[in-house]
Chain A
């Protein structure tokens, strides 16, 4: 464990806490893409298949359980909660995310570290995570204005993978045969996808204005 990875995990945790805060405090999920939340639940469920077979550390197991539980809780809340689900922007959240699942799975079959069930699903979860934010960014683009908590949620969600890139660089130079090129390339793509959002987020923060995304 290094400081970059720990910072990344904490930033990721903060993004989830901000999302939960937004939904429970405002009893509204406006501006949140249910499709992105469903993709993230799938990412965690397929990535942590080794949850009960390989014990890494208490921290690792607890964080995996938190990520799985929180992503499922958000999906269930947005689908079932009678008050929250009324505020879901159903007609704006129309990204065809099934294509993202299909593309990630095909790519995982072609490009993986080892052609085993667990490795293919791990690669699938890595590719899917890089694309999972797309429905959310499209939704924000269409709705134009971004409320603070939603903006902070997306910001922290993007920032965590940037910390992981620093972690991979650090591990590359400190551990002899460390090679996570699948996660690294995918993590770079993921961080770049957030780039335009980061730009407009920084501009709105600098002008202390409400964040507006160009339609």
Chain B
């Protein structure tokens, strides 16, 4: 998955 749509928030 591209870094943009990585869900980095909890």
Contact = CB atoms under 8 A, between A and B. Distances in A.
A56 B5 contact: no
A155 to B, nearest CB: 19
Interface string B1-10: 1001111111
Nearest to A5: B9
Nearest to A160: B10
Contacts, number: 26
Decide if the interface of chain B is mainly helix, strand, loop or mixed: loop
B5 to A, nearest CB: 7
B5 A60 contact: no
Contacts of A56: 6-8
A180 interface: yes
Contacts of B9: 5, 164, 167, 180, 183
Interface of B: 1, 4-10
19 contacts: A5-B9, A9-B10, A12-B10, A47-B7, A50-B7, A54-B1, A54-B7, A56-B6, A56-B8, A57-B8, A60-B8, A60-B10, A67-B10, A119-B5, A122-B7, A164-B9, A177-B4, A180-B9, A183-B9
